[in-house]
């Protein structure tokens, strides 16, 4: 019992959570335990990502089930929001405010004293590299600067959990790389970052785990490679770059777990689809030795979030946003 | 699985008391409001009548001035319940103008900017949000209604003497209660309209309409049916009754007419609705406004 309590205090836990908007399903029967690090929510529009985030922050109440954020109920805002920072997807700025005032205002609402507000604001601005532009009106900011200032307001009070709805939207590649580095540094310090995003390759790059959502249900969760390994109906695709791909293809077809072998357009590689990747790698070693093949590289071609998304969501009728 | 250092330390310092957090909203909002020169000018104009009243009160007690002007200010300007009731009414309508200028954007701006989730993802409840927004109007309107009213009352008491103060202290209560009732009604109506009508001009017009259209309708009902029951749908008439009641000038019988009854004529007395009915309707309007606010002031609007 004690261990269970301790775990609940270290995780963001959803137990049988459903949310209905009247007769419309928001999310259904969600059971999740989110650990420290970067967890990405991925899914098409309307899949329930934002609903899940709003449930976590107590902005919506679940129709059924319970949620606990590091042992705190979302319905205890006084405790919850000392631990949680939230950045909504909306471009919501009160008119006429400078970046610094925007952060200071919401920190004041949070209950910090004026001195603390000043110090925390400065630290947050430095964290997102916005200290130079902080005195300018938000209305004059570029989209990337707005994203960063919103991010700053969500982390200004030093929360343990950061819930960020589409934080990479509108950022140019340089700014995205910078923000991802910030996320990674926060995660490395032990923060919980729950991020929703449509930019799959970047989610893949930065996430410790992903939660794939579709039509209000969690389709898969966990490490991307682990999730990919469990999708049995889509055999793993592996690209072998070698000097004689046609020889390798002929030998591979002698084995039943090889489903497809297709020579790369440049004729210096072979795409192989196999149901048993582990057996394939052992076989490849043998064939390379027996046939004296020169292999440049062997890499999974669909062991990433994009492939997982395609197999689990797009092929099931979802649309890529 | 990534290895986490857990070197991050959340904020563990002190916080301001929970009860005081709603005051952040008026602090920032008032700064914005007074950023408008037009509003500041109107706000300053609201103090002309209190200033004139204070001068009259002073003159009334200054024998030299009375001698110079060679008129009996005491006769011209009796200072009593009627004087203060008139003061509350005049300042009340100026407060209405301020509400029309400030009220329409208070909630609508946050709804338009999707800012409510930003407020509510903090230790800050919907009730505190409404209280904070209402406080903006309460502070502004108090400054032009009961605050100068009580100062005027104290000036009169100071010049007239302790005996006058003792026998008229109830008037201070009437000034405060009458003004605050008006302020609460105006604030809640303005916030409710602001929550439901996002376009500033339309919201302002709606607020004006809330007072003038029911007044006109009530007047028509009164004329058609030789009654005063139409006043129950007019917020302005309701407040008029409440103010008269508080200052001791409320009379139910306000007129009579002769009506054919059988073979002769009988005199029918026209009566105002009872005072408790005015209080009740004002309370019901306030409750309706709170209900309307509770429907709109949410982190997310569920559209069915």
Percent above pLDDT 70 for chain B: 88
Write down the pLDDT at residue A224: 73
pLDDT, residue A316, reads 58
Q: Token pair of B245, please?
A: 């009641």
Asked if A165 and A203 sit in the same domain, the reply is: yes
Question: Lowest mean pLDDT: which of A49-63, A162-176, B9-23, B231-245?
Answer: B9-23
Do A93 and A221 belong together in one domain?
yes
| Residue that has been written with the tokens 């989610």 in this structure | A203
Cβ pair A159, A183 in contact under 8 A? no
pLDDT of residue B52: 93
**Which residue in B21, B115, B117, B198 has the most chain A C-beta atoms within 10 A of its own C-beta, making it the best mutation to test that interface?**
B117
A95 inside 8 A of chain B by CB: yes
Chain centre to alpha carbon of residue B235: 11
- Residue-wise pLDDT for B136-160, tens only, equals 999 999 999 999 999 999 999 999 8
Helix, strand or coil for residue A81?
A: helix
Tell me, yes or no, whether A218 and A251 share the same domain. Answer: no
Answer yes or no: do A106 and B118 touch at CB < 8 A.
yes
A145 and A294 part of one domain = no
Establish if A172 belongs to a structural domain: yes
Q: For residue A319, is it within any domain?
A: no
Give B206 to chain A, closest Cα distance, Å.
Answer: 23
Tell which residue, A85, A80, A51, A81, has the closest CA to residue B300: A51
Query: How many contacts (CB atoms, under 8 Å) link A and B?
Result: 123
Average pLDDT, chain A: 83
Among A50, A41, A37, smallest CA distance to A10 is for A37
- Whether B9 has a pLDDT exceeding 70, the answer reads no
Domain count, chain A: 2
For residue A318, what pLDDT band results from cuts at 50, 70 and 90?
very low
Q: Is the same domain home to A176 and A38?
A: yes
Q: How many CA atoms lie within 13 A of A259 on its CB side?
A: 12
Domain boundary residue among A229, A261, A287?
A229
**Rounded Cα–Cα distance for residues B226 and A79 (Å):** 61
The per-residue pLDDT for B85 is: 95
Supply the pLDDT for residue B114.
80
- pLDDT attached to residue B100: 95
Instruction: State both tokens at B102.
Output: 């400030």
CA A263 centroid distance within chain = 34
Q: Greater confidence, B144 or A215?
A: B144
Any idea which residue has 């007239």 for tokens?
B160
What range does the domain containing A290 cover? Answer: 236-301
- Among residues A229, A255, A290, the one where a domain terminates is A229
At residue B91, the pLDDT reads 96
Q: Which chain B residue is nearest to residue A87, measuring alpha carbons?
A: B118
pLDDT at B152: 96
Say how many Å lie between the first and final Cα of chain B, rounded.
42
In a domain, A203, yes or no: yes
User: At residue A236, what are phi and psi to the nearest 5 degrees?
Assistant: -65, 140
Q: Residue A15 in contact with residue A66, Cβ under 8 Å?
A: yes
Q: What is the pTM of this model?
A: 0.78
| Dihedral-angle region of residue B272 (phi above 0 means left; psi in -120 to 50 means alpha; beta otherwise) | beta
Flag if B21 and A187 touch (Cβ within 8 Å): no
- Spatial distance between the Cα atoms of A127 and A182, rounded to a whole number of angstroms: 8
Chain B partners within 8 Å of A58 (Cβ): 121
Distance in Å, alpha carbon of A43 to nearest chain B alpha carbon? 20
Are A118 and A244 found together in one domain?
Answer: no
Q: How many CB atoms lie within 10 A of CB B75?
A: 7
pLDDT in tens, A177-214: 888 888 888 888 888 999 988 777 777 778 888 888 88
Strand order in the sheet with A192-196: A84-87, A161-165, A192-196, A37-42, A209-214, A217-222
At a CB cut-off of 8 Å and minimum separation 6, what does A285 contact?
none
Per-residue pLDDT reduced to its tens digit, A108-150 = 988 888 888 999 999 999 988 888 999 999 888 888 888 889 8
Res A4 pLDDT > 70: no
CA angle B264, B265, B269 (to 5 degrees): 155
Residues of B with CB under 8 A from a CB of A: 1-2, 4-11, 13-18, 21, 24-25, 27-28, 32, 35, 109-110, 113-115, 117-125, 299-300, 302, 304
> Last residue of some domain: A205, A229, A253?
A229
- Mean pLDDT throughout A150-176? 86
Q: Which long-range contacts (CB under 8 A, 24 or more apart) does B253-256 make?
A: B254/B228
For residue A104, what pLDDT band results from cuts at 50, 70 and 90?
very high
Residues A225 and A288 in one domain: no
Please tell me whether residues A160 and A268 are part of one structural domain.
Answer: no
User: B-chain residues within 8 Å CB-CB of A84?
Assistant: 121
Does A307 map to a domain?
A: no
- For A287, other C-beta atoms within 10 Å of its C-beta total 20
Token digits for B52?
């004139």
* Residues from chain B contacting residue A190 (CB–CB below 8 Å): 4-8
Distance CA A235, CA A223 (A): 18
Comparing A287-291, B67-71, B213-217, B247-251, the range with the smallest average pLDDT is B67-71
pLDDT at B260: 65
- CA-based nearest residue in chain B for residue A36: B4
pLDDT on residue A8: 67
Higher pLDDT, A265 or A3: A265
Cα dihedral across residues B279, B283, B284, B288: positive or negative = positive
From B115's Cα to the closest Cα of chain A, the distance in A is 5
Give the number of residues written for chain B: 304
Of A53, A158, A107, residue with least CA distance to B123: A107
Three-state secondary-structure class, residue A171: coil
Tell me the pLDDT band of A320, cut-offs 50, 70 and 90: very low
What is this model's ipTM? Answer: 0.72
A240: CATH: 3.30.70.100
Q: Are residues A155 and A275 in the same domain?
A: no
Write out chain B in H/E/C secondary structure: CCCCCCCCCCCCCCCCCHHHHHHHHHHHHHHHHCCCHHHHHHHHHCCHHHHHHHHHHHHHCCHHHHHHHCCCHHHHCCCCHHHHHHHHHHHHHHHHHHHHHHHHHCCHHHHHCCCHHHHHCCCCCHHHHHHHHHHHHHHHHHHHCHHHHHHHHHHHHHHHCHHHHHHHHHHHHHHHHHHHHHHHHHHHHHHHHHHHCCCHHHHHHHHHHHHHHHHHHHHHHHHHHCCCHHHHHCHHHHHHHHHHHHCCCCCCEEEEEEEEECCEEEEEEEECCCHHHHHHHHHHHHHHHHHHHHHHCCCCCCCC
Minimum distance, in Å, between the CA of residue A177 and any CA atom of chain B? 20
Residues A224 and A248 in one domain: no
CATH number at residue A7: 3.40.50.300
**A318 domain residue, yes or no:** no
Report whether pLDDT(B133) > 50: yes
Q: Crossing angle of helices B162-196/B146-160, nearest 10°? A: 170
Q: CA of A286, closest CA in chain B: separation in Å?
A: 32
Residue A306 lies in a domain: no
Residues A19, A140 within the same domain: yes
The answer as to whether A311 is a domain residue is: no
Residue A257 has pLDDT above 70, yes or no: yes
Residue A316 domain flag: no
Say if residue A137 is in the same domain as residue A266.
no
Give φ, ψ of B130 to 5 degrees: -65, -40
Distance (Å, whole) CA A62 – CA A20: 8
Instruction: Quickly count: other Cβ atoms within 10 Å of residue B124's Cβ.
Output: 24
Tens digits of residue pLDDT in A288-302: 888 888 888 887 777
């Amino acid at each position: 019992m004690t261990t269970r309590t301790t775990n609940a205090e270290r995780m963001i836990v959803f137990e049988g959570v459903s949310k209905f908007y009247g007769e419309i399903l928001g999310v259904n029967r969600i059971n999740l335990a989110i650990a420290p690090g970067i967890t990405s929510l991925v899914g098409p529009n309307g899949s329930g990502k934002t609903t899940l985030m709003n449930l976590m922050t107590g902005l919506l109440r679940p129709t059924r089930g319970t949620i606990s954020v590091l042992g705190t109920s979302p319905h205890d805002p006084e405790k919850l929001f000392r631990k949680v920072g939230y950045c909504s997807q909306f471009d919501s700025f009160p008119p006429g405010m400078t970046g610094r005032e925007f952060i200071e205002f919401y920190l004041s609402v949070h209950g910090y004293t004026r001195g603390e507000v000043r110090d925390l604001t400065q630290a947050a601005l430095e964290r997102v590299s916005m200290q130079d532009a902080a005195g300018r009106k938000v209305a004059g900011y570029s989209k990337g600067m707005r994203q960063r200032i919103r991010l700053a307001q969500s982390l200004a009070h030093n929360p343990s959990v950061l819930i960020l709805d589409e934080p990479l939207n509108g950022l140019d590649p340089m700014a995205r790389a910078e923000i991802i580095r910030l996320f990674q540094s926060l995660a490395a310090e032990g923060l919980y970052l729950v991020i929703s995003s449509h930019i799959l390759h970047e989610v893949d790059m930065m996430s410790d785990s992903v939660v794939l959502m579709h039509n209000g249900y969690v389709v898969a969760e966990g490490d991307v490679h682990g999730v990919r390994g469990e999708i049995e109906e889509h055999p793993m695709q592996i690209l072998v770059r070698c000097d004689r791909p046609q020889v390798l293809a002929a030998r591979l077809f002698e084995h039943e777990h090889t489903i497809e072998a297709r020579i790369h357009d440049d004729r210096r590689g072979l795409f192989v689809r196999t149901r048993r990747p582990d057996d394939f790698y052992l076989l490849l070693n043998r064939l390379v030795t027996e046939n004296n093949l020169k292999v440049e590289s062997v890499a999974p071609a669909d062991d990433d979030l994009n492939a997982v998304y395609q197999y689990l969501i797009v092929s099931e009728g979802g649309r890529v946003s | 699985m990534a290895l986490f250092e857990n070197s991050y330390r959340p904020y563990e310092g002190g916080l301001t008391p929970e009860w005081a957090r709603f005051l952040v909203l008026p602090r920032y909002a008032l700064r914005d409001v007074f950023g408008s020169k037009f509003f500041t000018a109107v706000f300053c104009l609201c103090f002309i009548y209190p200033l004139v009243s204070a001068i009259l009160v002073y003159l009334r007690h200054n024998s030299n001035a009375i001698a110079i002007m060679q008129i009996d200010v005491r006769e011209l300007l009796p200072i009593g319940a009627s004087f203060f009731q008139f003061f509350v009414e005049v300042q009340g309508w100026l407060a209405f103008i301020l509400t029309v200028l400030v009220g329409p954007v208070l909630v609508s701006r946050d709804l338009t900017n999707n800012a409510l989730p930003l407020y509510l993802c903090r230790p800050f409840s919907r009730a505190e949000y409404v209280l904070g927004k209402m406080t903006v109007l309460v502070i502004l309107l108090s400054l032009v209604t009961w605050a100068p009213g009580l100062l005027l009352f104290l000036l009169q008491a100071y010049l007239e003497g302790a005996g006058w103060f003792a026998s008229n202290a109830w008037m201070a209560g009437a000034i405060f209660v009458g003004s605050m009732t008006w302020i609460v009604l105006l604030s809640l109506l303005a916030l409710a309209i602001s929550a439901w009508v996002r376009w500033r001009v339309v919201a302002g017009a709606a607020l004006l309409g809330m007072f003038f259209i029911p007044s006109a309708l009530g007047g028509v009902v009164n004329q058609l049916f030789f009654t005063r029951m139409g006043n129950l749908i007019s917020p302005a008439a309701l407040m008029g009754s409440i103010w008269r009641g508080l200052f001791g000038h409320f009379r139910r019988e306000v007129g009579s007419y002769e009506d054919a009854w059988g073979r002769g004529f009988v005199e029918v007395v026209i009566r105002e609705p009872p005072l408790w009915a005015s209080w009740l309707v004002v309370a019901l309007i306030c409750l309706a406004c709170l209900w309307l606010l509770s429907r709109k002031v949410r982190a997310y609007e569920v559209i069915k």
